[in-house]
Structure 1
Amino acid sequence: MKLQRTLRACKFGIVNYFDALNLQERLVSDRKAGNILDTILSLQHPPTYTLGKRRTDHNLLVSESDLKAMGAELHYTERGGDITFHGPRQAILYPIVSLREIGVGARKYVEGLESVMIEVASLYGVNAHPGKAGETGVWVGDRKIGAIGVRISSGITSHGLAFNINPDLNYFKHIVPCGIPDKGVTSLRTETEMELPEDEVLHEQLIQSFAKIFQFGVIQWKQDGPFLPTEEIT
């Protein structure tokens, strides 16, 4: 009899990007050592712009001082992908999982993350789809609703996806989102005529979709609570 794989789901509220990055790094080390199960972090960030490892600063259209004036941070990361924005009312999932154990390669993993957002959008009557060649993420027509940027180290994933529930889309005017010019950005709230549930419900639906697509039989929910930079998840 095949054993069901377990996914630990840790839900937080709004978390500073740097604190979330430090937590991911600790969890990646623990996952490599076999000290923890596959884990997924679900959270939101305060207004934050992040650049991927290609360092495409030219896609940031304002100065860092302008960002500070508007209350936003800028972070350089080692994930794939181009520049993107994170903010309140945007669902962030950071999976820390072993690709070897779930039996998929990097490309299939990214396609799975796309499928997660597409499936949840469909629950609200929104027909989302993967981007064309060179257009990462998930789209509604020519408007981007979900971004993907991942890092894989020794077969262990980090970073992940950002799904726009109802963020302030004006923040995207200050960048070339994901390095793709002449394309718009949208949100679930903008695209649906249905009433949306609380953000927490959307986060849970994304986690459930992730578990289904990557064939986790059990979700082990961690009790909600305030995020602390020194918090250990064991």
Structure 2
Amino acid sequence: MRFPRNLEVWKMGIVNYLDALKLQEKLVSARKVHKIPDTLLSLQHPPTYTLGKRRTDHNLLVHESDLQNMGAELHYTQRGGDITFHGSHQAILYPIISLRDIGLGARNYVEKLESTMIELASLYGVTACAGGKCETGVWVGDRKIGAIGVRISHAITSHGLAFNIDPDLNYFKHIVPCGIADKEVTSLRKETNMVLPAEEIIQEQLISCFARQFGYDSVSLKEGTSVLSADGDIE
């Protein structure tokens, strides 16, 4: 008999990238010793470019000082994947979950992240699919609508996925997104003729798609950053 599995979701709003990174590190440490259950961070970032552990700086097409003039930050991370952009009107999920507990390998995990975004797009009549060889993420034709970059340490995940609802796509012109040249980046707004609901609703739908794809029986919600105590410990 399988025991019911609950996913704890933290709805964080707009969070600075470094603050989110530090939070993930705390949560990963806590998840490794079973101090917390599987946890999902749902948030957005202010304009931010991030590079993965391969350090493919050549895919940044402007000088870092130019990014600062645009009000954007640049951060180096230990996740997989290449350079990408995060900004307003982009739904981000950072799962801190135990792959060992749910019986998934790394490849299956990434495939379920892809399926999460594909399912969300389908709700709006958009046919998306996983990329081919060396084309990570989720695509609508040859246009990328969702990015994936993950880190797995002792079977505990961090980082995750970013789905473009309606970000300013001009920011992507300053990079080779995910290291794939001559491909466009798109958004749900650009790909559908529908009037989209409030962004918060789409983010909640993405959370529901994630919970279904990963087989969680229930979802519990926490709002904002009040989930951290004053000294930064996890409550």
- TM normalised by structure 1 equals 0.97
- Tell me how far apart the structure 1 counterparts of residues 223 and 167 of structure 2 sit (CA, whole Å): 25
Aligned to 1:123: 123
CA–CA separation in structure 2 for the residues paired with 1:203 and 1:231 = 26
Aligned to 1:8: 8
2:52 is matched with which residue? 52
1:214 aligns with 2:214: yes
Residue 173 in 1 paired to residue 173 in 2? yes
Question: Where does structure 2 lack aligned partners over 5 or more consecutive residues?
Answer: none
Matches within 5 A, 1:161-200: 161-200=161-200
Instruction: Look up the match of 1:92.
Output: 92
Q: How does 1:62-141 map to 2 (within 5 A)?
A: 62-141=62-141
Give the deviation of 1:196 after TM superposition. 0.9
- Hey, what's the Cα distance between the residues in 1 that align with 2:4 and 2:128? 30
Q: How has the CA–CA distance of structure 1 residues 136 and 33 changed in structure 2, closer, same or farther, with 3 Å as cutoff?
A: same
- What stretches of structure 1 of length at least 5 have no aligned partner? none
Classify 1:171/1:14 alpha carbon distance in 2 versus 1 (closer, same or farther; 3 Å). same
Tell me the CA shift for residue 223 of structure 1: 2.9
* Residue type at the aligned position of 2:163: F
2:151 corresponds to 1:155 = no
Q: Deviations over 1:12-31 (max 9, x none)?
A: 11100000000000000000
8 A contact 2:227–2:234 mirrored in 1: no
Cα 1:145–1:213, aligned 2, differ >3 Å: closer, same or farther? Answer: same
In the aligned structure 2, how far is the partner of 1:182 from the partner of 1:33?
44
Residue 17 of structure 1 is matched in structure 2 by 17
Query: Cα gap change, 1:224/1:22 in structure 2, threshold over 3 Å: closer, same or farther?
Result: closer
Displacement, 1:9?
A: 0.4
Give the alignment's TM-score, normalised by structure 2.
0.96
The alpha-carbon deviation at position 225 of structure 1 amounts to: 5.7
- Write the deviation string for residues 105-159 of structure 1: whole angstroms up to 9, x where unpaired: 0000000000000000000000000001110000000000000000000000000
Look up the SS of the partner of 2:71 in the other structure. coil
**Partner-residue secondary structure (3-state), 1:157:** strand
Aligned partner of residue 20 in structure 1, secondary structure: helix
8 A Cα contact 1:12 1:227, kept in partner: no
Q: Which whole-Å CA distance do the structure 2 matches of 1:122 and 1:168 have between them?
A: 22
Comparing 222-231 with 209-218, which one deviates more in the overlay?
222-231
User: 1:137 touches 1:146 (CA, 8 Å); kept in 2?
Assistant: yes
CA contact (8 A) 1:120 1:209 kept: yes
Counterpart code for 1:119: E
Instruction: Give the alignment's Cα RMSD to 1 decimal.
Output: 1.4
Identity of aligned residues (%): 70
SS of the aligned residue for 1:152 comes to strand
The separation in 2 between residues aligned to 1:233 and 1:118, in whole angstroms, is: 33
Count of matched residue positions in the alignment of Structure 1 and Structure 2:
234
Question: Does the residue aligned with 2:195 lie in a helix, a strand or coil?
Answer: coil
Instruction: Say if 2:46 is the partner of 1:38.
Output: no
